[in-house]
């Protein structure tokens, strides 16, 4: 949050309780509670990095390039050896990258694209996990409800193949062998080569799918349950 986030979230700050015993610029009076302090010789995760104010990101420049960063007080440079893992939405990354004032940061960033899930069976596992950890864990869910939703969201993420059916492509991605049922079906490697490296970067998100699922469970005012018929109706209303 830009309103309450400052540089101490990364580099730490003075521990006020210790100022009775030590001067303010003493290393023993410093609270090494910042993310860079705790992640030294380890891994630091920076959630939504490009939403942070640019002044908060300044310690990352020397930490990643020179292996040290300055504290908020007059202490010496604090060493840092670790990996910084930041994640962001693609639109925020593009706006950050297109700002010429951020060139120093951009040169230090290695992009790892993480597409949406493209296997129906794996998408179902995500829904199962979300349901298991929610208040809907004991609600009834009719067979194939999650499978239908997973197929719908997965199809929105796939690129249309040439001389082949996108439904067959989805089944091949899920590990099925369609040699006997669809002679036009290609191998998974052929589908991936023709789709390119950006496949899965667009389409319906898992968050959207879970919102749909929660509305399906609450569709019937007399029963908290989900079935494919209500799922199709809710999808039609939402799209």
Q: In terms of domains, do 95 and 129 share one? A: no
Please tell me the predicted confidence (pLDDT) of residue 1: 45
Q: Is residue 111 part of a domain?
A: no
59-92 residue pLDDT tens? 888 888 888 888 887 788 889 998 899 988 888 8
Average of pLDDT values for 83-102? 88
Q: Is residue 74 part of a domain?
A: yes
Q: 56 in helix, strand or coil?
A: helix
Domain containing 33 — which CATH number?
3.40.50.300
What is the 3 state secondary structure string of 61-108? HHHHHCCEECCCCCCCCEECCCEEEEECCHHHHHHHHCCHHHHHHHCC
Q: Is residue 34 part of a domain?
A: yes
124-174 residue pLDDT tens? 999 999 999 988 888 999 999 999 999 999 999 999 988 888 999 999 999
Domain around 219: 120-238
Q: Are 33 and 13 in contact (CB under 8 A)?
A: yes
Please say if the pLDDT value at position 194 is more than 60. Answer: yes
Average of pLDDT values for 216-230? 92
Among 77, 106, 135, the domain-final residue is 106
Q: In terms of domains, do 101 and 41 share one? A: yes
10-53 residue pLDDT tens? 888 888 888 888 888 788 888 888 889 898 999 999 888 888 88
pTM: predicted TM-score of the whole model, two decimal places: 0.77
Q: In terms of domains, do 18 and 90 share one? A: yes
Please tell me the predicted confidence (pLDDT) of residue 5: 56
């Amino acid at each position: 949050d830009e309103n309450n986030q400052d540089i101490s979230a990364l580099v730490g700050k003075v521990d006020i309780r210790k100022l009775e015993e030590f001067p303010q610029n003493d290393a023993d009076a410093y609270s090494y509670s910042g993310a860079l302090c705790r992640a030294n010789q380890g891994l630091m995760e920076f959630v939504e990095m490009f939403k942070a104010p640019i002044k908060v990101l300044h310690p990352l420049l020397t930490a990643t390039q020179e292996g040290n960063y300055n504290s908020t007080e007059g202490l010496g440079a604090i060493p840092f050896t670790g990996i910084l893992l930041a994640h962001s939405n693609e639109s925020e990354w593009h706006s950050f990258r297109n700002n010429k004032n951020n060139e120093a940061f951009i040169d230090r960033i290695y992009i790892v694209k993480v597409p949406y899930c493209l296997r129906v069976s794996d998408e179902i596992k995500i829904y199962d996990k979300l349901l298991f950890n929610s208040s809907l864990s004991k609600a009834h869910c009719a067979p194939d409800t999650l499978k239908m939703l997973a197929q719908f969201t997965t199809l929105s993420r796939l690129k249309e193949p040439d001389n082949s059916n996108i439904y067959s492509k989805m089944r091949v991605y899920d590990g099925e062998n369609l040699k006997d049922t669809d002679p036009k079906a290609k191998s998974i490697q052929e589908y991936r080569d023709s789709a390119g490296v950006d496949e899965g970067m667009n389409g319906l998100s898992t968050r959207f799918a879970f919102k749909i699922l929660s509305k399906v469970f609450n569709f019937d005012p007399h029963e908290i349950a989900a079935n494919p018929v209500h799922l199709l109706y809710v999808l039609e209303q939402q799209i």
